Homo-oligomer: A and B are copies of this chain.
Amino acid sequence: MAQTVVMKFGGTSVGSSERIGGVAKRVAKHRKETGDRVVVVVSAMSGETDRLIELARKVGGDRYPVREYNQLVTSGEHASVALTAIALEREGVPARSLLANQVQIRTRGAYGQNLISGVETETLEELLERGITPVVAGFQGIDEFGDFTTLGRGGSDTTAVAIAAALGPCRCDILTDIDGVYTALPSICKRARKLQTLTYEEMLEMASSGAKVLQARSVSLAYKFKVPLVVCSSFSEIEGTLIVEEYQGMADAVVSGITCRADEAKLTLRNVPDKPGIAAKVFKVLGDAEVVVDMIVQSQGTAGRAAISFTVPQESAQTAYEALLKLATEEMPDASVELDKDIAKLSVVGEGMRTHAGVASKMFEVLGANGINVEMITTSEIKISVAIEAKYSELAVRVLHECFIEQQDAGR
């Protein structure tokens, strides 16, 4: 049955005039074969955003007003939406390109990392009713003054999901340069296989723990509004990965995917007084320094002394280190601060963990057997993450993939 579909194409998919032509052919074919009403969302042509940022750096030096930075980078999609509309018209598909202000994609929050607060559907609905395909600029929004804002890297995914959510029952296809979500990163693990289906929660855990296929924020938005997501290739018509709330047999596989991010750093504050309020003080200092903390372990020492370890993204490691050093100097004269920049966070994710016990112990066993020391652990209902030395990250992915995915597949 004909429906409304948002098709989002990333920067690589619109990276040249030929590829924009390919996008138009793909959309035209989809419309013809299904009768679907299609809204297209595109990013800037690949390389364009980086080119603009480099120009901003040359012109503005290290600091430039965020408002003007946003005005600058949004010119990237300004061009790509128009080119995509031109290409669609050439394929006989009536099309109309729209920037964030022309749709009214409203955002709030911090400049450069804005959140979508609302999408006006009037213009989109009107175009769709007239048989015209809207081509919407991804990544951009407008603030209360009508100025352009940006959603952060990968923000076009969020634009696409937000539009799908606003338009009502509507699927969202993310067409990209890979053909779906894999059990592990294929470049690290050759035996990784594509997943047919995932739950939002699985995808969310995978996205926030290293799978770069989708911006985590776009997945949580899809989850919130129950927008079925499809991740598939813009270059082939191979079936992609469907992400939904639940699917048949979703608990059968204990582990669905293994992810790894090697850009973490670990900080340890040793010999701090073991009394209430100390952890709160530490994390308030970090919060004030705008450091986002990931895994946390507090261990009790001796003689009323404790240690607190936590991981942060490598890019905030130095800031966090300096904030802690200042705190220690001023208020905890006995404490010491250690920084380890070579930390990887390894995660196994799967709905099956809700009902299957023993995943953690098996994971530690496999890692231990391969000489990999687990430095920290965090868990959620469907995920176990461990911090390990970064140099072991690829090996760890492979051995866990063999243990959890390949053996599981073989056993079916």
Where the two chains meet, the residues of A that have a C-beta atom closer than 8 Å to any C-beta of B are 17, 20-21, 52, 55-56, 58-61, 64-65, 67-69, 71-72, 74-75, 78-79, 81-83, 85-87, 89-90, 95-97, 99, 101-102, 146-147
Q: Contact between B81 and A78 (Cβ–Cβ < 8 Å)?
A: no
| Residue of B60, B79, B97 touching A86 (CB-CB under 8 A) | B60
Q: Can you list 19 contacts pairing A with B, beta carbon distance less than 8 Å? A: A17-B58, A52-B79, A56-B83, A59-B83, A59-B87, A59-B90, A60-B86, A61-B90, A64-B86, A65-B85, A67-B96, A68-B89, A69-B82, A71-B85, A71-B99, A72-B83, A72-B86, A75-B79, A75-B82
Q: Which residue of B lies closest to A14 (CB)?
A: B59
Q: Which 3 A-B pairs have the closest CB atoms?
A: A72-B82, A17-B58, A75-B78
Q: A52-B79, A55-B17, A78-B78 are in contact. Are A87 and B71 (CB under 8 A)?
A: no
Q: Which residue of B lies closest to A84 (CB)?
A: B59
Q: Contact between B55 and A69 (Cβ–Cβ < 8 Å)?
A: no
Chain B residues with Cβ under 8 A from A81's Cβ? 71
Q: How far is the CA of A21 from the CA of B57 in the complex (A)?
A: 12
Question: How many Å from the CB of A393 to the closest CB on chain B?
Answer: 38
Q: Contact between A79 and B72 (Cβ–Cβ < 8 Å)?
A: yes
Chain B residues with Cβ under 8 A from A61's Cβ? 90
Q: How far is the CA of A158 from the CA of B82 in the complex (A)?
A: 25
Chain B residues with Cβ under 8 A from A96's Cβ? 67-68
Q: A101-B101, A146-B102 are in contact. Are A75 and B75 (CB under 8 A)?
A: yes
Q: Contact between A86 and B101 (Cβ–Cβ < 8 Å)?
A: no
Chain B residues with Cβ under 8 A from A90's Cβ? 59-61, 64
Q: Contact between B74 and A59 (Cβ–Cβ < 8 Å)?
A: no
Q: Contact between A71 and B82 (Cβ–Cβ < 8 Å)?
A: yes
Q: How far is the CA of A79 from the CA of B68 in the complex (A)?
A: 10
| Residue of B68, B78, B101, B102 touching A97 (CB-CB under 8 A) | B68
Q: A17-B58, A83-B56 are in contact. Are A71 and B78 (CB under 8 A)?
A: yes
Q: Contact between B17 and A59 (Cβ–Cβ < 8 Å)?
A: yes
Q: Contact between A65 and B89 (Cβ–Cβ < 8 Å)?
A: yes
Question: How many Å from the CB of A321 to the closest CB on chain B?
Answer: 30
Question: How many Å from the CB of A294 to the closest CB on chain B?
Answer: 34
Q: Which residue of B lies closest to A61 (CB)?
A: B90
Q: Which residue of B lies closest to A70 (CB)?
A: B82
Q: Which residue of B lies closest to A83 (CB)?
A: B59
Q: Which residue of B lies closest to A74 (CB)?
A: B78
Chain B residues with Cβ under 8 A from A97's Cβ? 68, 71
Told that A68-B82, A68-B96 touch, could you supply 16 new A-B pairs with CB distance under 8 A? A21-B59, A55-B79, A56-B82, A56-B83, A59-B87, A60-B86, A65-B85, A65-B86, A67-B96, A68-B85, A68-B86, A68-B95, A69-B82, A75-B82, A78-B78, A102-B146
Chain B residues with Cβ under 8 A from A99's Cβ? 71
Q: How far is the CA of A95 from the CA of B17 in the complex (A)?
A: 35
Q: Which residue of B lies closest to A19 (CB)?
A: B59
Chain B residues with Cβ under 8 A from A67's Cβ? 96
Q: How far is the CA of A321 from the CA of B248 in the complex (A)?
A: 72
Question: How many Å from the CB of A82 to the closest CB on chain B?
Answer: 4
Q: How far is the CA of A146 from the CA of B55 in the complex (A)?
A: 29
Chain B residues with Cβ under 8 A from A102's Cβ? 146-147
Q: Contact between B86 and A59 (Cβ–Cβ < 8 Å)?
A: yes
Q: How far is the CA of A67 from the CA of B86 in the complex (A)?
A: 9
Chain B residues with Cβ under 8 A from A87's Cβ? 59-60
Q: Which residue of B lies closest to A65 (CB)?
A: B89
